[in-house]
């Protein structure tokens, strides 16, 4: 026969778990960043600031980004390496975006060219308006 004490003992664990869940859910929600999806951000650059073969790194909505100018136009990416998040830099001679932390390399389409990264760099939108270049997040 399941006595009162035994019943309470059996119920104690699930009740405690339910309470923890009820309290834990709002706690985790509170701790998660507000507005996880970043708001669209734009940075304007002067075309003359960037000669062919050169690059610029800048913060876009608080995150590092990079734009590279080649003979074929402008290429812009979020600059965080997809391996562990270090900021990539442009190397003109090999023509790649290089991560100084563990040697990951990406081509100008953002594809992995070598090193430990597995995912491509996320591209940014580039709009050319006369002398002004606008780089914006999607």
Under the rule (CB under 8 A), what is the footprint of another protein?
28, 31-33, 36, 38, 51, 53-54, 57-59, 62-64, 79-80, 83-87, 89-96, 98-103, 105, 113-116, 118
Residue closest to 121 by CA, chosen among 95, 100, 91, 96: 96
Is residue 57 within 8 Å of 79, Cβ to Cβ? yes
Q: How many CA atoms lie within 13 A of 81 on its CB side?
A: 26
**How near is the Cβ of 119 to another protein at its closest, in Å?**
10
- Where b means 16+ CB within 10 Å and e means fewer, 117-128 reads beeebeebebee
CB nearer to another protein: give 7 or 17: 17
**How near is the Cβ of 123 to another protein at its closest, in Å?**
16
**How near is the Cβ of 2 to another protein at its closest, in Å?**
29
CB nearer to another protein: give 63 or 134: 63
């Amino acid at each position: 026969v399941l006595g009162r004490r035994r019943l309470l003992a059996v119920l104690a664990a699930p009740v405690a778990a339910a309470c923890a869940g009820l309290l834990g859910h709002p706690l985790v929600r509170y701790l998660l960043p507000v507005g996880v999806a970043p708001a669209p951000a734009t940075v304007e650059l002067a075309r003359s600031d960037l000669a062919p073969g050169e690059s610029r790194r800048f913060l876009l909505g608080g995150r590092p980004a990079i734009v590279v100018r080649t003979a074929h136009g402008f290429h812009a990416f979020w600059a965080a390496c997809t391996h562990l998040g270090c900021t990539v830099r442009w190397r003109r001679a090999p023509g790649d975006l290089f991560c100084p932390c563990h040697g990951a390399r990406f081509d100008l389409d953002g594809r992995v060219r070598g090193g430990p990264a597995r995912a491509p760099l996320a591209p940014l939108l580039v709009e050319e308006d006369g002398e002004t270049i606008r780089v914006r997040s999607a």
